[in-house]
Each structure stands twice: as C-alpha cells, then as structure tokens.
Amino acid sequence: MSAATPPDGGERLSPEVLSQLARKYRTLAELRRARAAGEAIPAKEVFRALAGEFPGALNELDNLPFDEIERRHDALARALAGGAEERWMAWIHGYHTLMRAALYVKIRVTRRQELSESEAAALAERAARHAGVAVDAAFVIAVKTPPDGRLNRLVLGRLAAQSGASTAEIRETIFPRRPAQGG
C-alpha cells in the first residue's frame, strides 16, 4: 500500500472530515506558536474542547515536532483540494472516533461489576451515535477491561485490525515523538 492510498483500500475521507482534521492541525500550530512566543497559556476549556473533539490531540500538541504539525496541515489542505490522501489521515481520524467511543463507554462501565450482552449491545449503539463510528458489544466489553488497562492499546489494536497495518506502525506514524530537547 503506498503512502497516498487510504488504509481501507481506496475510500476517501469526506471533505468534512479532512476539513476538521486540517482545523485541528491549524489549532495545534497556533497553540504551539503561542507557547513558543511566551504568550499566556489558554484557559483549560480550550484544551478540554480540543481533547473532547479529537481525543489524542493533546498528545500530538505535546509530542509532535512542529514541522510535522505543519506538514500534516499542508497535506490535509492538498487532500481537500483533491490531492492524494496519506494513510495517517484515515488512521488519526479512526483513532479520534474510536477513542471518543471508548471514552464514552468507559465512564458508563467502570463501576459496573457485570455487563450483559444486551446491555453491551445497547451501549455500543449509543457510543456509535456519540462518536460517529461503528462499534459493537465486543468493543464495549473490551473497553471494560482493555489490554494492560490501556484504552490506547485497545484503540490502536482495532485500527490495526481494520487497516491491515501493525499496531506499532500506526502508533509510530500518528504519534511520533519529538526529539529530546537539550543535551
């Protein structure tokens, strides 16, 4: 699969999704520029809203190299103009939607001792509507007890199963680390 081929085998992301992702990276760039210029830290509500719409975005804000934030924004602008999409675009969109569903489920199952199949199926339907992604009862049950207690591992595993890429490749592509500062 080439870097410009969407991981689902050719279905393009909608212009709305591409636009939302471009807006996210524009916001991340603005926040990073403001931080570098020594401006006041925005109110917590700014970060809460960003994380609510794009779970994982604060990880990107803290860890993506600034050049990568700008590169992603530019790549999304090209894709919006009809250019090629890169695999990471579908992966990060999938990550945001699946994590939004997982977080929706998690707060509803954390304190429950048991969860019947019918309760899990009903919760999956509500989570799917909330997050804009299809999830099933098995996903709900997995959220209750995620691998090593980490929702991130569950979500990345689901993305890997859907795309045919490895979990490590997806994680390293969508969440590369910024080089360490200093010596």
First-residue to last-residue Cα distance in the chain: 38
CA–CA gap between residue 79 and residue 66 (Å, rounded) = 20
The pLDDT, as a whole number, for residue 24 is 98
- The boundaries of the domain holding residue 37 are 15-174
**Count of domains in the chain?**
1
CA–CA gap between residue 137 and residue 156 (Å, rounded) = 18
Position 179 in a domain: no
Position 10 in a domain: no
The pLDDT, as a whole number, for residue 180 is 62
The pLDDT, as a whole number, for residue 183 is 42
Position 2 in a domain: no
pLDDT tens, residue by residue, 25-82: 999 999 999 999 999 999 999 999 999 999 999 999 999 999 999 999 999 999 999 9
Position 129 in a domain: yes
Enumerate long-range contacts of 166-171, CB under 8 Å, 24 or more apart: 170/91, 170/95
0.85 exceeded by pTM: yes
Position 164 in a domain: yes
The answer, yes or no, to whether residue 7 has pLDDT greater than 80, is: no
Position 40 in a domain: yes
Position 8 in a domain: no
Position 119 in a domain: yes
Half-sphere exposure in the Cβ direction for 87 (13 Å, CA): 20
CA–CA gap between residue 167 and residue 158 (Å, rounded) = 9
